[in-house]
Amino acid sequence: MNAYQRFLDFFSMQNKERLDGLSESYFTDMTHEEREMAFDYLLKLVEKGGTEESVHGLFRADRNRAGESIKRLMAMGVLNGDAQIAAAWNLSRIENDESLIQIFIRFMADPDERLREKAAYYVPASKLTPELKSCLQAMIRVETEQLARIHAVDKLLECYGVSEESVGKKEYLSIYRNLHNEDLRTKENAFKQLEKLST
């Protein structure tokens, strides 16, 4: 079986491998021509609205071509929510465009919990703007879905560079638990603690 056929077969899978996603391994053994065919196949999917999976695949097939195509489709407003988040994440890895942060911020307040989860998970930790900080804090204060809150807490800690290694296990666990605490005052104190650590 050639690499392109294996790639096509991926889309008819229903097993664990499908859940693992369209990894780099699907493209590694492709010829240049096969990569172009895979790119065109994925681009057609993305042009119909796309998914997180198809957008990631597009960038794995050809990162340079993907960037231009995705920016065009974003400007046209044709991408589905999870495709927009994946597009913003991939673009943020190859260019320094501050406006991409707004996409994550918008979806962190989306009524769809799945999109809130993905936005908090994918937003780049290296770009902690005041607006992003406020958005993550707001999620931590009011988010009722556990996975979305976990991603918001993890991302805020990453933005501040706080880990077991950087502050010690005891202090890290204290801050982490306080950010997940149901008591709002406890959460606010954890936010203040993070600010102190950053100064």
- C-alpha closest to that of 157 among 191, 119, 113: 191
Q: Which residue matches tokens 């202090």?
A: 171
- In whole numbers, what is the pLDDT of the chain averaged over residues? 94
Q: Where are the domains of the chain?
A: 1-97, 122-199
- Residue 1: pLDDT band with limits 50, 70, 90: low
CB 72 within 8 A of CB 105: no
**Three-class DSSP category at 179:** helix
- Residue 21: pLDDT band with limits 50, 70, 90: confident
d(CA 139, CA 155): 11
Average pLDDT over residues 65-80: 96
pLDDT at position 130, please? 94
Answer yes or no: is pLDDT of 68 > 90: yes
**Three-class DSSP category at 30:** coil
d(CA 172, CA 166): 9
CB 26 within 8 A of CB 6: yes
CB 184 within 8 A of CB 141: yes
Answer yes or no: is pLDDT of 143 > 60: yes
pLDDT at position 69, please? 97
Cβ neighbors of 145 (< 8 A, separation 6 or more) are: 113, 116, 117
The pair of three-digit structure tokens given for residue 118, joined into one six-digit string: 């993905």
pTM of the model: 0.92
Answer yes or no: is pLDDT of 98 > 90: no
pLDDT tens digit sequence for 114-124: 999 999 999 99
In order, the DSSP letters of 101-125 are HHHHHHHHT-S-HHHHHHHHHHS-T
Average pLDDT over residues 120-148: 95
**Three-class DSSP category at 37:** helix
**Three-class DSSP category at 11:** coil
In order, the DSSP letters of 145-173 are SHHHHHHHHHHHHHHHT--HHHH-HHHHH
d(CA 90, CA 115): 16
Cβ neighbors of 174 (< 8 A, separation 6 or more) are: none
More confident position, 16 or 93: 93
d(CA 103, CA 61): 24
Listed range (1-10, 47-56, 105-114) with the worst mean pLDDT: 1-10
- Residue 136: pLDDT band with limits 50, 70, 90: very high
